[in-house]
Amino acid sequence: MLTLGLRPAAGPERIPTPRRKPGQVVTAMPGTRARQALFTALADDRHIPHDVLTELAGRAGWPLPRRVRAIVLAGPHDAHSMAPHLVPQPTPALTPQLAAALGQGLPGTVEADLCLLIPDPGPRARAALESALGGRVAAVGHSVPVVDAASSLRWARRLLALAAAMGGPAERVTFVDDHLSELLMLQDASLARALSARWLRPLEDLTPRQSERLEVTLLAWLESGGAPEAARTLKVHPQTVRYRLRQIEKLFGPAMREPRTRFELELALRSRRLLAQARQLRSRAHGPVRALGAAAAPLSPAGRARINGL
């Protein structure tokens, strides 16, 4: 702990540590404790010198890989937020089993989450990871240098929490690599709301129905790049999309032709949609109608358009 800079608080009951004499033999740390100490060091956001990590890894018998990925397993506390077919079944000694299945895995816990650090198996090892996890609900972090393992852990935990908040993951194993833009947009909800407020201000004077209709159309157009493609996404006639785009251009002005404006608008629209989904699902989880909303899947753009009578 002293080596890692984690000094215990001084107090009257503190037991003094005897100074080691030259040549004194120090008993090796037991393997389990050594691995726990190494995992704790790697999971810490503070910078740990590489020589300290190397020493801990030697004691733990875990050769430091060049790059690692974090795996975070859904626990029983996440079960109420997930679809019934994705609820994990409790298994004794879950983490050691996975560590054995995944080879040189380093198990540990962060708060209540069961985690695992593994040497990065490369971009083509997705199927092998899913197989080794044995059908468990989990989030797999992005590949990082071993000294940045805390970052992979943090974002894997964030993805698992967001998946639970959004009604459960669509797949049993979700990868941070597949959700980089969503995680980036939701990194700071306050900034996301500020972005939406700045760029979507021209829609404030419309009715909620009108605003929703133009937001859906604008996002479909920005994502697809043309009116016919947006019409196919929304399942409406292309002329309907063109009519709405003329309305949008009147509201936003010639800035709509600038690439930076279109980029910022797409970010604002995506952020508003993600925040709205998270807010609705949180209210369902705490409200009396949770049982009705728990199984409801998020609406597609076409579904939202149909509900609005488009």
Question: Going residue by residue through the chain (310 aa), what tens digit of pLDDT does each one get?
Answer: 443 344 444 444 443 444 444 444 444 455 688 888 999 999 988 888 888 889 999 988 888 999 999 999 887 555 444 444 444 444 434 555 565 556 678 888 888 888 999 988 777 777 778 877 777 889 999 999 999 999 999 999 988 888 766 555 556 888 999 888 888 877 778 888 888 888 889 888 888 899 999 999 999 998 887 888 989 989 999 999 999 999 998 998 888 888 888 898 988 988 888 887 767 666 655 554 333 233 333 444 444 443 333 3
**What pLDDT is recorded for position 131?**
78
Write the single-letter amino acid at 260. Answer: R
Residues 239 and 237: their CA atoms lie apart, in Å, by 5
Query: Which residues does 54 contact at the CB level (< 8 Å), separation at least 6?
Result: 64
**What pLDDT is recorded for position 42?**
93
**Rg of the chain on CA atoms, in Å:** 25
Residues 284 and 251: their CA atoms lie apart, in Å, by 34
**What pLDDT is recorded for position 281?**
61
**What pLDDT is recorded for position 237?**
92
The CATH number of the domain covering residues in 189-307: 1.10.10
Strands 113-119 and 106-110 turn out to be: antiparallel
Other Cβ atoms within 10 Å of 2 Cβ, number: 8
What b/e readout covers 47-73, taking b as 16+ CB neighbours within 10 angstroms? ebeeeebeebbebbebebbebbbbbbb
* H or E element, residue 271: helix 259-286
**What pLDDT is recorded for position 166?**
57
Other Cβ atoms within 10 Å of 222 Cβ, number: 17
Residues 73 and 173: their CA atoms lie apart, in Å, by 9
Write down the H helix ranges in 225-258: 227-234, 238-252
Write down the H helix ranges in 174-258: 180-185, 189-199, 208-224, 227-234, 238-252
Question: How many residues are given for the chain?
Answer: 310
Residues 272 and 193: their CA atoms lie apart, in Å, by 7
Tally of helices (H runs) and strands (E runs) in the chain: 13, 6
- 59, two tokens: 């004691």
| Level-2 CATH architecture, domain 31-179 | 2-Layer Sandwich (3.30)
Domains of the chain, residue spans: 31-179, 189-307
Do residues 202 and 252 touch, judged by C-beta distance below 8 A? yes
Query: Which residues does 111 contact at the CB level (< 8 Å), separation at least 6?
Result: none
